[in-house]
Chains A and B, each alone.
Chain A
């Protein structure tokens, strides 16, 4: 008797979970009709899988210095020599493995930054738009200040004081890059406020929090998601720039770090295309994927720009 009830409750919980998941999924309104958007989603998926299974896919650890069978340093080998798929760096590290492990820091930083930027931006935008008055003025002045801070130089200046770490970029983004999302979400909230049901809910006595959660939040989610996706690309590009300039974390091999390594070791002059092209191409793929997905969203959210 008890088992049957327990089983039943498990089933209902599972059903509710699936229902909730599907509800959120539908709210996100993934753009599945645009072929480029689909390609973008596939690229994300591919990189995500690579990041998760990096240990299995990469033949060597990213920082391990490797040697030839004859005990010489396996440095500057071209693709295919001695079994290195993409050749090796001047220090004897396997480029292919570095690429594979690079997906981890790219995705990690991309997703974290995107979530934080979207979250802060949305909260600021919603609070400013919903409550108005001095709160709105204060928050928008803060946004103005954020707009006045040149982002990349700011990250560089921070790098002067903070320990080199991939989280510096995330920190800087959290401080500065919420500004675009905040402004856009705020104007969305302002439009929503003019619609009857917010006032109607107020008249019914709903608390502000309830209105925010039930009416406002679901309507801004697609927009927040869109700006979050853009933020992923921004984060990855910024991290690459920072690493390239020498302020990145030398322990975690990112694609930006690889490019700095290549540049510093005269890869350009040595025509070592196998070294500096793959990391750049990976960055391009993952950032473009983000753009294509957001473009798919644009068709859904702003159809007047449509075909």
Chain B
């Protein structure tokens, strides 16, 4: 089965890339100017803690030994202790991951829902003024710095109109029984609205343009013309036949979009004080909290690499040559 071969190949690729990124991170933090132990140990730690960390990460051993200890620790999920929070890095970043994921997926779903419909519409109205204005408008949305858009949204909808809160995931003082309770509360959605919308506005350009160009190709196909000759309604022709065929490649792009979106997350989380991985990375780096910075970066990279794999697999899966072999 050729698909199995493709799958194995892709997984090997994933392992390779993960290993490379992990190694790069290792070298970055150990070889950069300054005290190599600074990657894990801060003078503010007690002597006991320092010794424990030194043993755990082999900081007094030669570099190559440290490397293997590092890899071993990683596989066990051991990432050191945060300088500022005095808690395990792995715990902290896993706590933050859901917030980032919720923001990413919510905004992407909005972006894709809008992008696909708008792209199909623009393809239908090919050659008319709507298209001539629409496309440059979409390009402009891709030219905006996401954080600036966030600032404008805040200025208008939060500070001026007062419709939405200015940041965070909840108002100060509000308590929730569990993470799940928080996510399903109206309060959360009020806080999620602006950041998700900001990211969505920036991201919708890709699915929109992709859908439009696919639609234009599909609309030229004979079966679309046949649908018109059969006298089927505009809706049936455009949606049931053209859009259905044009949608496939757009869906595979969703996985890659997650990877790119995570970068936008970094700045938007900062503008809206959204407690996610991106914001944590920024504050960790600013405060020279190296273990936490490493951990946050690593988790983001893992998600990106995983999404790339999923995108590749989806693409291969939908390729008729492989599917119908």
Contact = CB atoms under 8 A, between A and B. Distances in A.
Interface of A: 36, 141, 144-145, 147-154, 156-161, 233, 237, 240-241, 244-247, 256, 259, 262-263, 268-269, 271, 273, 276-277, 279-280, 283-285, 287-288, 290-292, 295, 305, 307
B235 interface: no
Given A161-B28, A288-B139, A150 B301 contact: yes
Interface stretch (B43-51, B63-71, B278-286): B278-286
A307 B127 contact: yes
Contacts of A279: 148
B145 A237 contact: yes
Chain A binding surface, main DSSP class:
helix
Contact of B286 (A141, A148, A246, A291): A246
Interface in B259-310: 259, 262-264, 266-267, 270-271, 278, 281-282, 285-286, 288, 290, 293, 296-297, 300-301, 304-305, 308
A292 B136 contact: yes
A148 B20 contact: yes
Contacts of B33: 161
Contacts of A263: 151, 271
Nearest to A160: B285
Contact of A268 (B18, B155, B266, B301): B155
Contacts of A247: 285-286
A99 B194 CA distance: 28
Contact of B143 (A145, A241, A283): A283
Interface residues of B, number: 57
A152 B147 CA distance: 13
B97 interface: no
B297 A259 contact: no
Interface in B204-226: 213, 216
A153 B286 contact: no
A244 B20 contact: no
Given A145-B20, A148-B304, A156-B285, A244 B136 contact: no
B125 to A, nearest CB: 13
Nearest to A259: B148
Interface in B1-33: 13, 16-18, 20-21, 24-25, 28, 32-33
21 contacts: A144-B17, A147-B17, A148-B17, A148-B21, A148-B301, A149-B21, A152-B267, A153-B263, A153-B281, A160-B288, A245-B282, A247-B286, A259-B145, A271-B159, A271-B160, A276-B151, A276-B152, A280-B151, A287-B143, A288-B143, A295-B135
